[in-house]
Structure 1
């Protein structure tokens, strides 16, 4: 940000859309607006793309977390709106609020820090792509995939409290090969997956009557998914696999007192359909999940490149310090940059860390007679606890990239949400050879609950590090252990706010959510775009946009 004064003036100064922050939703909207023929300028105070969806070297990640977690309370020391009698607008100073807290960094070896620039660490992990999800479809249609390469996530597992990993049988082939399942359990799963497949085929059938008897009843579809699974006679183990490792539910579905998102059978079936349609979609993908080389920060950059090709203008290291509010209409007319330059547009999108301050004393005369048109509220949706660990040993022998789940109550009786763990290796170009990055996340109501979830998972997954002796900390000394537990080289834990701003004059993009995939992020971007441009199509179809999966490069090593 200190380099903003070195920039030449931006030309032109009038745009159809000003976007502040290069996070994924902002980047998608900028690309969609440019595809609709709008003039767009995209600004970011950071020296990198991605904002809260970025992938950073180790040193840069810790610096970003520290800087973001030490921001002042946005309600303190707010400059009053500034006006001049000859001006047509009022400059309302923007503030930024703290989006990360409770940052805990532990280093047990100097090795990761010595190779900091060889890491590309996701700020909002764990996150992956389902091969058949809506974001992949959009990337293929737009050709955005040409800017990215992918690798498979080789396996999915469910963890128990002792750190043991059980395979997730997510296909017929996987069910037959799974030695941990009994014959009865295998038959139950096969019949269940067949029932789901027949139901989906019947729903999509042109001849509705012929498939009516194969549909799941409306009563069952509207019942809780966990009740339907109990009706099918599944054991607690199989229910847990289906609910938390395939349908990817977050909250304890069997405890109505703590479950904030009870999934109905209809939605559960839809999630199963996404998972199963992802398996085998791409011939060179090993399972349902893929991940981009160099980290998830490649995704917002890919949409930024798409927008730039269509004429969008990009300026990094440029902070926005104020909004211009029209005195007469009380609508936003543009922004003021840290360089002192003013840019104008009737549409402005802000990064979620910005706060438009509430009215303050001594405002200019007649200002904000209807302040609700300008000043917004913060839509607080909870928190997500995130952790990043670096180790030299895989959680599962002979598996490099994997996803693991701790279902509710698997770590301790009071655990009410799942803990997700994504392990990535150097074949994804995210860490030096011989090391692994592990991302952990869990939804939580407060920092104490979040840290308890992450620490319990860490204790189950890793052996206790020996201070000053990192080399010896890579193995569990218990000779009877079936799987040697990795030792930690480095770790960080932090609490991220799940916040989205709400303001009539400007739009805010959301923070990264607690989901594993990007579907909700894309949905929010579409809603914001349609709110701003109700008569424009979101990425209109073109003759050149019919790019199918045979053109995607997953770059899976055999």
Structure 2
């Protein structure tokens, strides 16, 4: 029996493709109780949104060179190159006469370091002699890099998350953030006057930078403040904003060319043709995201962006979604009585028929005949570089965003993201550099000039992970590179044969994931009127409280707080100040950065402002109860010191009676609490 025979045949929603948008839709449908089948023709999750190890990318490049018309994930114009040799060349062995082979000085012993296996090329020997104190350097060759192939997580579509962007909000409100880890981008750079310059992102950075004069600092702060308040005050409305470019608006503010460069290219990430409304929107997103998790507005997904589609797939599976890989779609079945409505699909392997009410497909999985109008010719140029050091060295390992303005003769700017080993994108001692821009010719022609500005592209024998300070190569040495193009299908118009079939477009050149989230919300609204990805409880928040309890799980935090409330009321005769959660039992987790990391533990350990306020009130109440207990102990001590024997004996009797009753009452409460704990454990 094949695996297809074991699949159920009836579903509410079938999703074909495991890209970002498709995975969000599948998770949202499964979360509200719909029966979902999520399958893909690939043997991995994510499609073109996935992260690959080094060997996988090398195989993609090799397959493309063998057959230019064959590519599973839609890449073309692929060129990959090694800039170091496969192995360290061995020094030549020079034969010596027999008389010279005899050791004339028996007092000199041959050490292990003199053996041929430890001899390096002449340049490397010189480096080892003068920089022997650098013990952690690694000599990289093709063989040594390929041995570490599993430590690479290389993205075909590298993107950042705005701290207040739509994807971060969705990860928090749905509690899917617990499946992922993030790291803050700790610096933003720009290319100005032929060199790399840091971009002042916050008020402190603006006043600390030496690249902006005092007058420019005041002008910049005034501009940023007005951009933040745009749309909130009528006095800040810009006349004829739709017909004006953002560059014209900046010039009308009488900014210097230095400040215009920072705002237009580094903060807005735009071009001279960017519209004024788009530039203001980008600046507001940049400024509102500042300071939420770090000194920049951006987050990076640890282990690569390919982790994010898998996070939504996990939630879909938790709520009953069925997953199948390596399954291709043979055709779409239409209803006989209603030819324009889809009733199911047929798999290619066994021709099995599966019924569904709705079908969601990736644009890479549909026939080209479904496209309306002309096929989009807009493409994306990409490049991946593996280097031996950062483009701009710093004391701490950098995670860098560089918005490179267009060079002379170029039309579009280039977005550059540099990742170090702490992001688990590469082994220790190496860096990964991603370049992205809109396609004009091909990837290599579009990006090679930018690479030459930042990197050394010469072919050498081998390279250390850390070059000597007096090395002639000041730029990072490229170890391996890959140039490729992909289609930008984000604006492609598609006409499907049925109103209950929806198409998810591919990635665009934008820096964030907002387009994918917006598209997923739109598709979900056509499928259901339910809540889009409501918060999923953590496993430790769900407690089933016996057969006689109310139907449905309760939150453990509610249970604990109610137990504490009963305990305080019984012991002290006062109502506890501990407040329960709201009726829905849902709390908004906060992602908070610690040492530039945003992890699952930090989400769980942070609570919202209401819980913080409630905790403070609880502490104050418990403190008052403690003071009352101390006062009672003082009164009891005073009574024990009374000199009248009769009064003393009567008081002792009263105290004994009260103590005895309290002990019985407490024992009863303890036994009830233990029985409740046993129920919880069961």
TM-score tier by shorter-chain length is 0.7 to 0.9
Q: Give ranges in structure 1 of 5+ residues lacking alignment.
A: 75-95, 204-210, 254-258, 359-373
Matched length: 484
Counterpart CA distance in 2 for 1:522 and 1:516 is 13
Match in the other structure for 1:166: 197
Contact kept? 1:404, 1:421, Cα under 8 Å: yes
Match of 1:246 in 2: 267
1:6 deviates by 5.5
The answer on whether the counterparts of 2:26 and 2:316 sit within 8 Å (CA) in structure 1 is yes
Return the offset for 1:330: 3.8
* Deviations, residues 500-532 of structure 1 (Å, cap 9, x unaligned): 461323322111111111111211222222344
Residue 155 (1) aligns with residue 190 (2) = no
In the alignment, is the contact (CA less than 8 A) between 2:61 and 2:80 conserved in 1?
Answer: no
- Answer yes or no: is 1:320 the counterpart of 2:329: yes
- Map 1:6-25 → 2, pairs under 5 A: 7=3, 9-25=5-21
Are residues 103 and 160 of structure 1, via their aligned partners in 2, closer, same or farther at CA, if it must alter by over 3 Å? farther
| Structure-2 change in CA distance of 1:541 and 1:187 (3 Å) | same
- 1:78 aligns to what? none
1:489 aligns with 2:479: yes
Whether contact under 8 Å (2:19, 2:45) holds in the other structure is yes
8 Å CA contact retained: 1:71, 1:97? no
- Structure with the greater relative contact order (CA < 8 A, sep ≥ 6): 1 or 2? 1
In the alignment, which of 16, 28, 33 is matched to residue 29 of structure 2? Answer: 33
Is 1:503 equivalent to 2:495 in the alignment? yes
Structure having the larger proportion of residues in helix: 2
* Distance across 2 between alignment mates of 1:227 and 1:438: 33
Q: Is the 8 A contact 1:475 1:487 kept in 2?
A: no
- The reply to whether residue 104 of structure 1 matches residue 114 of structure 2 is no
Task: Say whether residues 1:453 and 2:446 are aligned partners.
Answer: yes
Alignment of 1:280-319 (within 5 A): 280-282=291-293, 285-319=294-328
Question: Which protein is bigger by CA-based radius of gyration?
Answer: 2
Distance 1:155 1:551 in 2: 18
Aligned to 2:156: 123
1:237 Cα deviation after fit: 2.8
The TM-score with structure 2 as length reference comes to 0.66
Match of 2:378 among 368, 377, 382: 382
Q: 2:167 aligns with which of 128, 135, 140?
A: 135
Partner SS for 1:347:
strand
- 8 Å Cα contact 2:47/2:73 also seen in 1: no
Q: Is the 8 A contact 2:430 2:465 kept in 1?
A: no
> What is the rounded CA distance, in whole Å, between the counterparts of 2:65 and 2:29 in structure 1?
32
SS in 2 for 1:458: helix
CA contact (8 A) 1:474 1:488 kept: no
Match of 1:527 among 492, 502, 522: 522
Q: Do residues 233 (structure 1) and 254 (structure 2) align?
A: yes
SS across alignment from 2:230: helix
Q: Does 1:46 align with 2:54?
A: no
Q: CA deviation at 1:497?
A: 0.5
Residues 1:166 and 1:115: Cα distance change in structure 2 (over 3 Å): same
Hey, which of these two has a bigger chunk of strand by percent? 1
Contact 2:81 2:481 in 1 (8 A): yes
1:516 equivalent among 498, 507, 511: 511
Q: Does 1:351 align with 2:362?
A: yes
Contact 2:389 2:466 in 1 (8 A): no
Q: 1:376 to 1:551 in 2, by over 3 A?
A: same
- Within-5 A mapping of 1:185-264: 185-199=216-230, 203=232, 211-213=233-235, 215-220=236-241, 223-249=244-270, 252-253=271-272, 259=273, 262-264=274-276
Which residue of structure 1 aligns with residue 129 of structure 2?
A: none
Q: Which residue among 411, 424, 431 is the counterpart of 2:426?
A: 431
- Give the equivalent residue in structure 2 for 1:331: 341
Deviation at 1:355, TM superposition (A): 3.2
TM-score normalised by structure 1 residue count:
0.80
CA contact (8 A) 1:226 1:243 kept: yes
User: Per-residue deviation at 1:453?
Assistant: 2.4
CA distance in 2, matches of 1:6, 1:292: 37
